[in-house]
Structure 1
Amino acid sequence: MERSEAEMLNEGGARAGAVGEGAFQALQALMMLAEPDRAAQLYEELGSAQRERLQKEAAQAPVQERQRLAEVMRQARDFSGAARMLDGCGVEGLVADLYVQGGQYVEAAEAYLRAGQAERAAAAFERGGALERALEVYRGLGAREPMAQCLVRLGRPYEAAAIYRDLGQSHAEVEALGSVPAGDPRHLESVLRMCKLLDGEGFTRRALALLADTMRGSDAARADPALATEKARLLRRMGMEAEAEAVIARLPASASAPEANGYGYLKAIPIFGELSLEDMKDLYRVARQVLIPAGAVLLEKGAQGVGLFVLLEGTVDVHSGAESDARRLNTLGPGAYLGEISLVQDAPVSAQVKARTAVRALRITRAGFQHYLDTHEAAALRIFRLFTQNLAARVRALSA
């Protein structure tokens, strides 16, 4: 006589409870009887070794049966087991989601890749700690900001900072550079770049504090002429001329000598901070060296700007106006630059600049710069973007 389904179920359940054999058949019987809750309960009562044998046995079953069993396993909250049961069934997106629910993010990421969902795969790799794999996928997607985040987490902040620089995210670049350790060969270079960024954003005091802390904690930093020159520049920016001269006086003669051709000074100007090597060289070729006698006026207050001056030798005084009693606002020396706003904005000069000594300078005229912009489209976009950011930072600093 043919046995009833209930008898088959009882027999299967007894066998499963005893040694784990036939558990798949018992679950099949429950599924045939549309008893998913009881099937899930039976699955939950199995030991881990029994569940493992069940999964091996079920892996050879037809796709439809595996899908039904996967639903039972999902209901029993064995999400990873359900994902493995569905592997190869053509539902990789669902497999990945189940792996996520089971906390197996790397396996989820591989499934997302098979499903063609690269963005979700990268995020899952990152969440699972497989940062190199995440970086690889992000790179393939061209997702530069997540790439930078991975690089920071991988202990490669300098590379991350380079990406943030290309993206124009100066605050993120500062944060990344701040993670470059003191023992890294690029630490001092990172500090110098951070100071320029902070100063460009209107945080000159913070930049000075960073320099002072760096130089206080390292003999190499104290002996670095680039850091000392930057400290002097920042001190001048704050009207502390005597302190700036004292810093320069402590430098070896060879270190304090001005750059012969001014390329480095031109390169350091914030609005040119994102130009490629080729574009920077082309811009330098636009510049011309000029000699200005002591007492000559470089920039007249209220007049239209005549272009950019980058000081190579000598000093200039910045006054509030042309009157004999006008207040002296600052004194600038080699490395300082004047009139950069007039390159991109037709506006009157806000102060008078007069040569205190004979001056040698690089000059870029507005006409020459306009021709450069017309013939270097990518460079023009980068210059205007940085000019806008620097202008916004100045406005924020004035309103603070």
Structure 2
Amino acid sequence: MSFMSSLSLANNKNRTATWALIGAAALILSAAMGVRQTFGLFIGPFSFDRGLPVTLIAFAIALHNLVWGFAQPFAGAAADRYGAAPVVATGAATFAAGLALAAAATSGWMLVLGLGLLVGIGISCTSFGVVLATVGRVASPQTRSVAMGLASAGGSLGQVLMVPFAQELRVHAGVAASLYGLAFVLLLAAPLGIVLDRASRQRTHAPADGTHEEHAQPASMPLRETLAYATRHRGYRLLTLGFFTCGFQLAFIATHLPGYLMLCHMPVGLGATALALIGLFNMIGSWGCGWLGGRLRQHHVLAWLYLIRGGAIALFVLLPTTTVSVVAFAAVMGLTWLGTVPLTNGLIAKVFGTRHLGTLFGVVFLSHQLGSFLGAWLGGYVFDTTGSYSLIWGATAIAGLVAALLHFPIDDRPVTEASLVSA
């Protein structure tokens, strides 16, 4: 067999393994992120049917964001070391157990333990820090941003499907049946981590196009030295601070948009429709942001994304609330929803390499989840104390401008191993 024939066969094998990896990643993210997207649908039923205060329910949802953030670096490190299969399986089972406990909850502490603690641990093992980090390690530098964008876009399918699925189950069979159904979906996703690891092993180390890495990456540096340098890197700190805004905005909207629309006397079910539309347009946005990140400087794309999101929030609050404005708002939010994730992952990989990508992204993601905690909890607290969401809507809009100003000056030059050693 000639050299060219061997190279073509290897490239075909690489492409097949990469597509299998992207498919498995998309299915895992569909289950995890799709189920999470439904939580806002349960605030009203838990409050009215079980007599729990909105603040407590919002705290449980906020807590899972906080636990997710603190657990993410550890989940990412475990996947970096042991592979995705055991981490994803453990996370999916824990996530399902948390939903089952919430379904049976008769008191506030059961809801907080299930929907807060267990769901937070479970989602840290089945979301971006584990799944997209695996994709980032396998894809070549030239295709990394696009590959992660495709996985994120495929994962958005779950956001489109899970919201109406949960809504229909809740309406016709009750809250408990709906949560049990979502738990079953997560158990179906548990074995898919095996596909991630198998595709990673099948994929040869050389990129499919025969090129090499664009720069010398710190592949041999221990985690402690890499992490210590990253925390001193100005761009890494700015990225971490900016990602706080993403979590704050998304958690508030996902948790409280249905309740806000009810206060505005919008049609029943419009909140669920808006969340599903966000998931639908997120498919386009995630792929589009990944595509742009492969052609433009990723931190510039992130900055413009935050500006657009902040402007859309401001217009939505200032203009009259109608069905058309809700649909338009959901579309814009979807286009800018999770496109930040492949861009942020890709930027970290570009600057620091991919060996410790799961851990380095996990640290940045902790900031995201601190913002998520505040967005979800403060939304409930502000509403309970003022009877309105106006203050928190204003904060989410202003946060978009702040995040953009943090991202524009990021230094995205790759860090070499020599830089780490001399630091």
TM-score range, shorter chain: under 0.3
Give the TM-score normalised by the residue count of structure 1: 0.23
Higher-Rg structure is: 1
Q: More strand by proportion, 1 or 2?
A: 1
Tell me which of the two structures has the higher relative contact order, counting C-alpha pairs closer than 8 angstroms and 6 or more residues apart. 2
